[in-house]
Amino acid sequence: MPERRVFVIRHGERCDFAFGKSGLWINSFDSRGRYRPLDINLPRTLPKRPDGWQGFGTDPPLTEIGYLQSKLTGRALRDNGIEISHVFCSPALRCIQTTIGLLKGMGTSCFEITADITKNKHCSGLDKRLQFSVEPGLYEWMVWAKLGKPCWMPPNHLKKLGYPVQENYVPCWTDKELRMSETMVDYYQRSFSSMNKILAEFPEGNILIVAHGASLEACTRQLVGGDIRSTDDFYYLLHNTPYLACVELNSREGLWRLVGSPIPSFSHTFNRTFDPLQLVTKDLAGLKREREGQDNMRTTQ
C-alpha cells in the first residue's frame, strides 16, 4: 500500500477576534447593513449571504492579514513539494476563505470564474480540477458557539459566488446533526468519525483538511491510536495552536502516525490599532492605563 499523507491546517486570523474589543469590525456596518471597513486589515469587500449581513456575527470572515497568511502558507506547501488530491474544509467562512488562499498560494490556476470578480476577489485564478468539499463534521466544538449555531453559506450558494466547491459531495455530518449540547468527548468522536469516513471514501491520494485550532488535535488524536485528552491538556494545546498551524499524518499499511509539520512555523508580531490623536492628548498616563487594561483583557482570552 503506497504512503498517504494528510495535512490538517487551522484557518487564518478572523475579524471578530482581531477587532472584538475595539468594535471596529461590527461598527463597519451601519444600521442598514452597509459595509465600510474602518481598518486596513478588515476585508475590502464581503460576499453576499443568503441570511443577510447579520450572519457575519456568528460566521465571521478572515481579515486581510488572515487571507495573506493562508496564501503564504500555501506557497510554503508548494515550495516543499506538497501535492494534494482532495481538499475538505469546515463550513465556517473563515475556513473556506483560508482554503482559497491556500490553493492560490500553492499555485493552482485557470479556474473558470462564474461570479463577478470584484465581489469575490479571492476566487480569481483557481484550478477547477481541484475543488474543495465542505464538511460540517469538521466544525469546531459547538460549546464555543456562544451566539447560537451559525447559519453557514451552503455549497450551492458558494458555487454561485465563484468558489470552486464540490456540490455533489455527501457530507459525513449535516449541520442539523451538530448539537449545541455537545461535550468535549462528543467533539473528539465527531472529528474522528469524520476523518475515518473521509479516508474510507477517498482511499487514494493526499488529503488537505482546513478547519479550526482544536482540529489539529481532535482530528488526529484517535487516528494515531491516542486517548482523548483531559480538559486541561486539550485547552493547553488549543491555546498554543496559532493561525495556520499545520500538522502532517503519514500512513503505511493503514497505520497512521503524526510526523510533525511539512513546513516551518508562521510567526509575526502583534500590531495594535494606532490613534493619531494621542499625539495631542494631555493625559497620557490615563491613556497608558487604559491600554494596559486592554492588553490584560487580551492575554486572558
Tell me: the pLDDT tens digits for 241-250? 999 999 999 9
Q: Beta strands 246-252 and 255-260: pairing type?
A: antiparallel
Mean per-residue pLDDT of the chain: 89
User: Which set of grid coordinates corresponds to residue 107?
Assistant: 499555485
Q: How confident is the model at residue 129 (pLDDT cuts 50, 70, 90)?
A: low
Q: What is the pLDDT of residues 145-169, one digit of tens each?
A: 988 899 999 999 999 999 999 999 9
Q: Which amino acid is at 270?
A: F
Is 252 annotated in the active site?
no
User: Which set of grid coordinates corresponds to residue 93?
Assistant: 467562512
Is 10 annotated in the active site?
yes
Region of residue 247 (phi > 0: left; psi between -120 and 50: alpha; otherwise: beta): beta
Residue 140 has pLDDT above 80, yes or no: yes
The pTM of the full predicted model, rounded to 2 decimals, is: 0.88
Neighbours of 28 (CB within 10 A): 19
Residue 297 has pLDDT above 60, yes or no: no
At 1 the pLDDT is 61
Q: What is the pLDDT of residues 254-277, one digit of tens each?
A: 899 999 999 999 999 888 888 787
Share of the chain above pLDDT 70, in %: 89
CATH number of the domain to which 56 belongs = 3.40.50.1240
CA dist 237 and 67 (Å) reads 24
At 20 the pLDDT is 83
At 294 the pLDDT is 62
| List of residues 6+ apart from 28 with CB closer than 8 A | 35, 36, 37, 38, 39, 42
Is 122 annotated in the active site?
no
Measure CA of the first residue to CA of the last residue in the chain; give whole Å.
45
Of 4, 5, 10, 86, which residue is the catalytic one? Answer: 10
Residue 139: closest CA among 194, 71, 61: 194
CA dist 248 and 257 (Å) reads 9
Mean pLDDT (whole number) for 97-124: 63
Question: Coil, strand, or helix at residue 250?
Answer: strand
Residue 125: closest CA among 107, 110, 105, 106: 110
Pairwise pLDDT comparison (113 vs 35), residue with the higher score: 35
Cβ atoms 127, 134 nearer than 8 A: no
Neighbours of 244 (CB within 10 A): 24
Neighbours of 296 (CB within 10 A): 9
Of 14, 122, 190, 212, which residue is the catalytic one? Answer: 212
Q: How confident is the model at residue 219 (pLDDT cuts 50, 70, 90)?
A: very high
Of 4, 11, 86, 122, which residue is the catalytic one? Answer: 11
Mean pLDDT (whole number) for 15-36: 91
CA dist 38 and 15 (Å) reads 12
Share of the chain above pLDDT 90, in %: 76
Pairwise pLDDT comparison (280 vs 1), residue with the higher score: 280
Q: How confident is the model at residue 293 (pLDDT cuts 50, 70, 90)?
A: low
**CA–centroid distance for 46 within its chain:** 16
Range(s) of the domain holding residue 71: 4-299
At 147 the pLDDT is 83
At 66 the pLDDT is 98
Cβ atoms 76, 195 nearer than 8 A: no
Query: Which residue in the block uniquely carries the three cell numbers 461598527?
Result: 27
Task: Give the total number of structural domains in the chain.
Answer: 1
